[in-house]
């Protein structure tokens, strides 16, 4: 599973673009959906048993974990 995100700019960053892992909440991370193969927003789907899972908003594939 690959995650890729960009941190919020902070005062110490002068310029240019650095890509590195940052303390970003998991809900803000774009991930590549295994269902549709594209970076996608993650939504939450409530299952019939009441548990909530993350899911692709494009194709409704659910992500375990």
Determine contact, residues 13/7, Cβ cutoff 8 Å. Answer: no
> Which of residues 7 and 34 has its CB atom nearest to Zn ion in the complex?
34
Determine contact, residues 5/22, Cβ cutoff 8 Å. Answer: yes
The least CB distance from residue 16 to Zn ion, in Å, is 32
60: alpha, beta or left? (left if phi > 0; alpha if psi -120 to 50) = left
> Which of residues 7 and 37 has its CB atom nearest to Zn ion in the complex?
37
Residues that bind Zn ion (CB under 5 A): 33, 35-36, 56, 58-59, 61
> Which of residues 36 and 53 has its CB atom nearest to Zn ion in the complex?
36
């Amino acid at each position: 599973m690959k995650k890729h995100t960009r941190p919020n700019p902070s005062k110490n960053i002068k310029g240019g673009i650095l890509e590195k892992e940052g303390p970003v909440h998991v809900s803000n991370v774009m991930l590549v959906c295994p269902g549709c193969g594209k970076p996608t927003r993650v939504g939450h789907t409530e299952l019939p048993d009441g548990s909530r899972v993350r899911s692709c908003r494009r194709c409704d594939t659910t992500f375990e974990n």
